[in-house]
Chains A and B, each alone.
Chain A
């Protein structure tokens, strides 16, 4: 139980006034950064790197880490209230969260988001505390073929996200692949679908796509319907009911595990993790047809998963020195500025620092819960703001967010174009979730396939003669059949119900 005693030692470091203060500052800033679309923890941590020149390492790293996991608390706010995903990990939250807001249940949605984030964040930290080194080594077992198989498995989610018309879902998914292909291919050097344009050589950033498809398109549709406000009626419950909490308990546990284990794998976007949690929830639910119409589990699952993924992400960072994503890569830079080498030696040479950081994350999660729950009452009022005032503000924030990703005016044009595309898709009943999913998956799907084929000099059997990748591909095929069967059963049930009524 030496990990436990190390953790207690870590708490004694983290519970000093100085460190607590910076933990709070980091958590608050993280939440704010998460709320704003486009600007993510990566930029925030990068902008704040200069603090390393005047702060000692412990408070500085505690603060920067707080920004990272705090952002996952804030990301759900705009998703629920305005249908703008704060970052890609919050896209699944929009699907049910915004529906809940339109039904006057923004309060419970925001609250369950904070509660689920806290639950998943804290429980997954236990995994980090006790199992980190083992898990880090286990995660290394995932090589290119395993990543590819995982992506194929994730692709089966398209079926579930397609709604009634599966053909439209597939079309949406294929459009996503097409969009993801645009740009300069880093492997072969060939320019794909760039039509000679320099801007397109840089590819289409998915933030522009999701802000366009969700926020801008929603505004266009609402303008058409002359929406008065998101929910102009009297808002009754701010907190989830006991029934809601009971329903979500299983959800939160599942989300914790899914998020944590997927977060361990470097290179796996948190968006994929959030979608998977959402998908699993829909599969195990007794009434999957509620998803997409305001099911509270549809908010609890992705929000919990993206928080436990942050704890998982610290495993490869602290144990191997491998940053699993861009935000933690910047944090790694901060470590290096202080001369601290994350990796196996960090726990040996700087045990107080390492455990102080982990302890601060428990504290940070608790602070974030306490901060976010009371704020629900304030955020909920956004739903009553007259749409005529709200929508221009939303547009402004959307464009700033889209611009901030690459400091590119072109991204703003893309956002507008995708807003138009999203509007068309809504009118023609094409689901946009598959499109987003494939854009997020495409890079890794293609990348890991090529890496695998590089490894085997072009022989595809490498995907099938390794146990984990074979297992995942079999699971993918299995789940595909199960999904189709479930859809067929559901449609038959609906038909029978219609007949009975008729």
Chain B
């Protein structure tokens, strides 16, 4: 999406560690609403464009 931004740069911009960004990308961690909004804001995209919900994953 913003492939010119490194994980560390994104982590610094939203106030978390790079490991947290990695965990989010690998779907190993669901960020809080506040963090999700901060990430979407950093990408200048709406929330739904950055994060998706798969109801099948809950089953």
Q: Are these two chains actual partners, yes or no?
A: no
- Chain B residues engaging chain A, CB cutoff 8 angstroms: none
